[in-house]
Amino acid sequence: MTEPLNGENGLRSVPALFRRNAKNNPSAPAYREKEFGIWQTWTWTDAASEAEALALGLIDLGIKQGDFVAIIGRNRPSLYISMVGIEMAGGVPVPLYQDAVAEEMAYVLGHCGARYVIAGDQEQVDKVLEIQSDLPNFEQMIYLDPRGLRKYDHTHLHSYAGILENGRAKSGALAAELKSREDALNYDSTCVMLYTSGTTGRPKGVVLSNRNIIEAARSSSEFDKLGAGENVLAYLPMAWVGDFIFSIGQAAWTGFCVNCPESQGTMHTDLREIGPTYYFAPPRVFESQLTNVMIRMEDAGKTKKWLFDTFMAHAKKVGPAILDGKSVGLLDRLKYALGEFMVYGPLKNTLGFSNVRIGYTAGEAIGPEIFDFYRSLGINLKQLYGQTEASVFITQQPDGEVRSDTVGIPSPGVEVRIDDNGEVLYRSPGTFVEYYKNPESTADTKDPEGWVATGDAGFFEPDTGHLRIIDRAKDVGKMADGSMFAPKYVENKLKFYPNILEAVVFGAGREKCMAFINIDMSAVGNWAERNNIAYSSYQELAGHPQVLGAIRGHVEEVNRSVAQDDMLSGCQIHRFLVLHKELDADDGELTRTRKVRRKVIGEKFEDLVNALYEGKDEIFTETEVTYEDGRKGAISATLTLCDATTVAPAQKIAAE
Amino acid sequence: MLDQEQGYVTADGRQIGGTVMDMRNITLRFGGVTAIKDISFDIREGEIRAIIGPNGAGKSSMLNVISGFYVPQEGQVYFRGEKRAPMRPYEVARQGIARTFQNIALFEGMSVLDNVMTGRLTQMKAGILSQALWRGKAEKEEVENREICEKVIDFLEIQHIRKTPVARLPYGLKKRVELARALASEPKLLLLDEPMAGMNVEEKEDMSRFILDVNDEFGTTIALIEHDMGVVMDLSDRVVVMDYGRKIGDGTPEEVRNNQEVIDAYLGVSHD
C-alpha cells in the first residue's frame, strides 16, 4: 500500500472528519430524526460534541483502547454518533442487526468479546440480559430509550443521557486522556467491525480500518459528485456495510445530512417529507413500491388509468434515452414534458423520489421491468456491485451508461480481474484488513498481494467493459448431463413477477431442475380480493388451485425465456411447489439481508425436494418455525406438487 | 396489609398510596332490575385495580358509576376524600378521570391525531373567535396541546397512523387510539372497559405492556374491566370480583384465585 499513513490534510479517522465538519460547517445539519412529529436536527457541532461527551463517559466507565462495543438498535442519530464516540475513545464499534434473535446475538457478542453494549430500547436490553450469562467479557450496558427500564437493576445498566452528562462533567479531568487517544488514531486503526451475514456458516467479523472507510467514501463521493447539500434517508440496518458507508463514511467526508425515520412504519411518509437527493434501496424495496403503485392504479378511475397507461408507455419509449442525454425528437420530448406534469411528477412526489439525483440498488439482481420503470420516470437509478470486505464499492455504473443486466465499471481506485475459473477478484484501498480471530478464512479470501475473491462468477462484456455477474461461484454447478446449472439466474427471472416473492431452484448433479416458490402476499392477496377468492391464511392462499395455476404460468414463461439461452437451457423448471410458509431470516432460511440460504433450505425441506424428484402429486409436511421473540412452533400442511411445461431449446417443442 | 392512610407495597415493590376513590354501599337499579347490589370497594393511588366477573355481572355499570355517568340510587362515591355530587361528563373529565369504551367510541371520519387532540378539549381555554382567527392564545394552546398528544402518540407507538382516518384502522389499533385519546387528557384515574376484548394474543400482549407502561411512567391509577383471566391476574394489583350485581371477592390476584365463591361463579357449581 502506497497511501500515506495520514489521510489528506491529516484527516486520518472518522472522528477527525467530525471535528473538521464541526469547525468548517458548525451549524449545517448532520443528522435529523423525526420525533414527536417534528424533525429534530443535530448540527455538526452537536454531533461532534455528543460524540466527545460519549467518549469521555466511556473512558470514565473504563473503556480501554481496542475494546469492542456493540451497538444494537434502529437507525437513530445518537446511535450513529455513538459509533464515532466509541472510536474517539479508542474502542471499536460493532453494529448488530437489531432483529437478530438472542442466540444469534450471543454468538457475535461472544466472538468479539464486547465489554460494552449500547442498546436502543428495552427490547434490545432484554435480549442482551437474556444471554449475558454466556458472555464472560460483557460488563456494562447503555440504553438510549429509557422507557420501561426504570425498574431494572442499574448496577450494570446506564442511560445514554446519563453517560453523556457524566462525560461532560468529567471533561476537565479526562480531556487530556481523550486527546491522546484521539491523536493515536491513524489510517490503519480500526474504524468499525461488521459481521457479514454469510449465506453459509457462521458470521465473520470484517475488520475495516479508517483507510478503508475514508478512501471508499472519498472516491465514491467524487464518482457521483456528492456534496454537502445531499440528503439521505437512513433506514437500512446499521449492521450493514452500506449503511455505515453512506450514513457515516460519506456523510462525514462530504458533510451531508442523514435523516432517520420516526419508526419503521413511517418510512414512506418520512421519505416523502425529506425528499432525499441520494437514495439507496435493495431491489425488493423498489419492487414492493412498484407493486403498490400498480395495485393502487387498479383501483383508479378510468380516466386516470388511461392517463397513467398512455404516459407510462411513452415514458418507457423515450424516458431512459432522455435521462441518458441522448437525442430524442421534439414531439416526443414535448409529450414527455406533458407526462412529467400530468403523471411522472406527481407519481415521483408520492413515492418520495422528486429530488433524487442519484439512486442506487444493489445486493441482488433487479428485474429489468422494475429498473426501467423507475428510469423511465426520470429517476437516475443505477446499480453497484460490492461487498462488506470491499467497504462496499467494487463496480458502479457511471451516469449515462446504465443497464439492468450489468453492474458497471470498476469503481475509482478498484482493480478488478476475472480468475481462470470465472470468479471475480478485486483489490482496492477499501479492501478489509482481516476477519477477526479467523486467519484461515482471511487467507482463503485475500491473497498476499491483496486480491480478494468475491465468490461470484462473472465476466466483462468485451465491447462496453461492464461487469456482468452470473451467480455465486459456488452455486454454479453442473447438472447430471454436464450442462451448466446457475440457480440464481433462473430464480431472478422468477422473482421479477410481482406474484413471486422468493424462489429457490434445485438441480445441481440432477437431471432436471425443481423449484420452491414463495408467493408475494400483498400482490397475490390483492388479486384474490379482486377475484372474490376467499382465504383465511397465508397457507391457504399459497395452496389455492388458482394461485398455483397463475404461478405455473409464470414458471412456464420463465422456461421459454431460459430456453433462449444455449448455455443455460438445461435449467428449465420441470416441477415446482408453492411453499406453505414465507422463507424467513428468523428460521435461518434467509440471511439478515434477505439472501436465500440454498443449502439450509435444501436440508430443512429435504422431504419436499425428494417428493418433487420422485414425481409425487402431493406431500404432507411439518415445519418448525421460530417466532420473533425466539419461541418455536410448528406448522403442517399438505402441499400440491405441480408440473410445468418445458421447452426443448432447439426444436421449441413441448417436452412433456 | 391494607392500611387506610398508608397504602401498601405491591408484589413487585411499587408503593401504592392512599385511597383515590371510595365506593360505599353502592346500589344501582334500572327500573325493576338491580344491576349493582350494595357494593363497597376502593381504588388507591397508583394501583392497577381490576373488576372481573361473568357476563351480566354489572361490571360496566360499576365503571359507569365510577365515571359518574350513572348516579346510584343508594350509597356514596368519594373522590379524593370528598363526596361526589352528580355531575356532567366534562366535569368528570376536568377532575382528571378518563376512560375508554367497550365498543370503540371514536370519531371514525377524523384522523388519529385529531381524535387524540379531542382528548385535550377540556384543557382548551381560548374563545371561539380566537380559535377561528388562529391568533394569540389559540395558537399557543394548540402548540402545547399538540406536543402532549405527540408524546402520547410516541408512547403508544402509533406514529405510522398519525394522519390515517380512524375508519380505516383495524380493531386492535382503534383500541390503542382510544387509549391515546384518554391519555392525552393526562388523567389521574384511567378507566378501561375491556381494553383487550376481541384481540389476538399478540395484540393483547402489546396492550398489557402499554397499560403497565402507562402506570409505570406516569403513575396513573388504572381501573379496568377484563374478561381474560390470564391478563387480569398478570396485570392487576387488586381484583374485585362481581357476580349478579354482588361483590363476591376482593383482594390480590392470588387471594381471588383461591376464593371458593369466585371459582364457583366462573366454573359453575354442580347441583346434585
Residue A531 sits in a domain whose CATH number is 3.30.300.30
B202 and chain A: CB distance < 8 Å anywhere?
no
pLDDT over 80 (residue B101): yes
- How far is residue A281's CA from residue A366's CA, in Å, rounded to a whole number? 11
Strand, coil or helix: A387: strand
The whole-number pLDDT of residue A198 equals 63
- How far is residue A143's CA from residue A455's CA, in Å, rounded to a whole number? 38
B213 and chain A: CB distance < 8 Å anywhere?
yes
pLDDT > 70: percent of chain B:
96
DSSP track, B126-150: --HHHHHHT-THHHHHHHHHHHHHH
Chain B residue with minimum CA distance to A268: B160
Statement to judge: residues A213 and A323 lie in one domain = no
B216 and chain A: CB distance < 8 Å anywhere?
yes
Statement to judge: residues A227 and A285 lie in one domain = no
DSSP track, A3-54: S-SS-GGG--SHHHHHHHHHHHSTTSEEEEEEETTEEEEEEHHHHHHHHHHH
pLDDT category, A141, cuts 50, 70, 90?
very high
Q: B189-193 and B33-44 as β-strands: parallel, antiparallel, unpaired?
A: unpaired
pLDDT category, B203, cuts 50, 70, 90?
confident
The whole-number pLDDT of residue A653 equals 43
Tell which wins on pLDDT, B119 or A564: B119
Q: Check: CB of residue B34 under 8 Å from CB of residue B63.
A: no
Statement to judge: residues A372 and A496 lie in one domain = no
Statement to judge: residues A307 and A275 lie in one domain = no
**Mean pLDDT score, B61-77:** 90
B151 and chain A: CB distance < 8 Å anywhere?
yes
Statement to judge: residues A187 and A308 lie in one domain = no
Helices A77-88 and A14-24, interaxial angle, to 10°? 110
Statement to judge: residues A354 and A264 lie in one domain = no
Instruction: Determine, yes or no, domain membership for A454.
Output: no
Q: Which segments of B219-259 does DSSP mark as H helices, in order? A: 229-235, 253-257
| Final residue in a domain of this structure, among A280, A299, A316 | A280
**Mean pLDDT score, A511-515:** 90
Tell which wins on pLDDT, A630 or B167: B167
**Which residue range is the domain that position A308 belongs to?**
281-378
Statement to judge: residues A173 and A242 lie in one domain = yes
Chain B residue with minimum CA distance to A270: B160
**Mean pLDDT score, B116-125:** 86
pLDDT over 70 (residue A409): yes
Regarding an ipTM greater than 0.85, the answer is no
The whole-number pLDDT of residue A200 equals 62
Instruction: Determine, yes or no, domain membership for A599.
Output: yes
Residues in A closer than 8 angstroms to B160, CB to CB, are: 262-266, 269
The C-alpha cell at B254 is: 392470588
Statement to judge: residues A555 and A570 lie in one domain = yes
Exposure of B272 by Cβ count < 10 A (0-12 exposed, 13-18 middle, 19+ buried)? exposed
The whole-number pLDDT of residue A147 equals 86
**Mean pLDDT score, B97-103:** 88
Q: How many CB atoms lie within 10 A of CB B107?
A: 13
Mind listing the pLDDT tens digit for each residue in B13-51? 778 888 888 999 999 999 888 999 999 999 999 999 999
A150 and chain B: CB distance < 8 Å anywhere?
yes
| Phi, psi angles (nearest 5°) of residue B256 | -65, -40
CA distances from B99 to B67, B120, B185, B245 (A): 8, 13, 10, 22
Domain residue ranges in chain B: 1-96+187-272, 111-180
Residue from B111, B160, B211 to probe the interface with A (highest A Cβ count within 10 Å): B160
Q: Check: CB of residue A450 under 8 Å from CB of residue A431.
A: yes
Out of B150, B161, B216, closest to residue A150 by CB? B216
What residues does A290 pair with on adjacent strands? none
Instruction: Determine, yes or no, domain membership for A460.
Output: no
Contact call for B12 and A151, based on CB within 8 A: yes
Chain A residue with minimum CA distance to B160: A266
Instruction: Determine, yes or no, domain membership for A391.
Output: no
pLDDT category, A563, cuts 50, 70, 90?
confident
Q: How would you list the strands of the sheet with A29-35, edge to edge? A: A38-43, A29-35, A257-260, A231-233
Residues in B closer than 8 angstroms to A151, CB to CB, are: 12-13, 216
Mind listing the pLDDT tens digit for each residue in A196-242? 876 667 889 999 999 999 999 999 999 999 999 999 999 999 999 99
Chain B residue with minimum CA distance to A145: B155
Statement to judge: residues A126 and A273 lie in one domain = yes
Q: Min CA distance, A237 vs chain B (Å)?
A: 19
Residues in A closer than 8 angstroms to B12, CB to CB, are: 151
CA distances from A112 to A68, A95, A124, A143, A184 (A): 7, 12, 18, 20, 22
Q: How many CB atoms lie within 10 A of CB A23?
A: 11
Q: Based on the structure, what is the number of domains in chain A?
A: 3
| Final residue in a domain of this structure, among A280, A302, A325 | A280
Exposure of B185 by Cβ count < 10 A (0-12 exposed, 13-18 middle, 19+ buried)? buried
Average pLDDT value over all residues in chain A: 89
| Final residue in a domain of this structure, among A248, A280, A312 | A280
The whole-number pLDDT of residue A384 equals 92
pLDDT category, A587, cuts 50, 70, 90?
confident
Instruction: Determine, yes or no, domain membership for A145.
Output: yes
Q: How many CB atoms lie within 10 A of CB B139?
A: 14
**Mean pLDDT score, B161-181:** 93
Statement to judge: residues A274 and A323 lie in one domain = no
The whole-number pLDDT of residue A7 equals 54
Residue type, A195: Y
Residues in A closer than 8 angstroms to B10, CB to CB, are: none
Statement to judge: residues A308 and A291 lie in one domain = yes
Instruction: Determine, yes or no, domain membership for A429.
Output: no
Q: Check: CB of residue A40 under 8 Å from CB of residue A248.
A: no
Q: Check: CB of residue B24 under 8 Å from CB of residue B78.
A: yes
Provide, for chain A, the percentages of residues in helix, strand and coil under a 3-state DSSP scheme, each rounded to the nearest 5: 40, 25, 35
Length in residues, chain A: 656
pLDDT over 60 (residue A613): yes
Residue type, A312: M
A631 and chain B: CB distance < 8 Å anywhere?
no
- How far is residue A286's CA from residue A288's CA, in Å, rounded to a whole number? 6
What's the 3-state SS for A173-216? HHHHHHHHHHHCCCCCCEEEEEECCCCCCCCCEEEEEHHHHHHH
Put simply, the chain A residues between 37 and 66 with a CB less than 8 A from any chain B CB are 37-38
Mind listing the pLDDT tens digit for each residue in A17-68? 999 999 999 999 999 999 998 999 999 999 999 999 999 999 999 999 999 9
Contact call for A262 and B159, based on CB within 8 A: yes
Statement to judge: residues A361 and A343 lie in one domain = yes
- How far is residue A582's CA from residue A623's CA, in Å, rounded to a whole number? 11
Q: Which segments of A447-506 does DSSP mark as H helices, in order? A: 487-495
Neighbour-count burial for B238-271, b at 16+ CB within 10 Å, e otherwise:
bbbbbbebbbbbbbbbeebeebeebeebeeeeee
Mind listing the pLDDT tens digit for each residue in A349-366? 999 999 999 999 987 778
Candidates B259, B260, B207; CA nearest to B234 is B207
B217 and chain A: CB distance < 8 Å anywhere?
yes
Angle at A589 between CA A588 and CA A590, to 5 degrees: 95
- How far is residue A562's CA from residue A569's CA, in Å, rounded to a whole number? 5
Q: Which segments of A38-170 does DSSP mark as H helices, in order? A: 44-61, 77-88, 102-112, 122-131, 160-169
Chain A residue with minimum CA distance to B150: A36
pLDDT over 50 (residue A651): no
Choosing among 3.30.230.10, 1.20.910.10, 3.30.950.10, 3.40.50.300, the CATH entry for B1-96+187-272 is 3.40.50.300
Contact call for A265 and B160, based on CB within 8 A: yes
Angle at A577 between CA A574 and CA A583, to 5 degrees: 125
pLDDT over 90 (residue A433): yes
The whole-number pLDDT of residue A649 equals 65
Instruction: Determine, yes or no, domain membership for A225.
Output: yes
Contact call for A147 and B151, based on CB within 8 A: no
Mind listing the pLDDT tens digit for each residue in B223-256? 999 877 788 888 999 999 998 889 998 999 888 8
Residues in B closer than 8 angstroms to A264, CB to CB, are: 160
A123 and chain B: CB distance < 8 Å anywhere?
no
The whole-number pLDDT of residue A655 equals 43
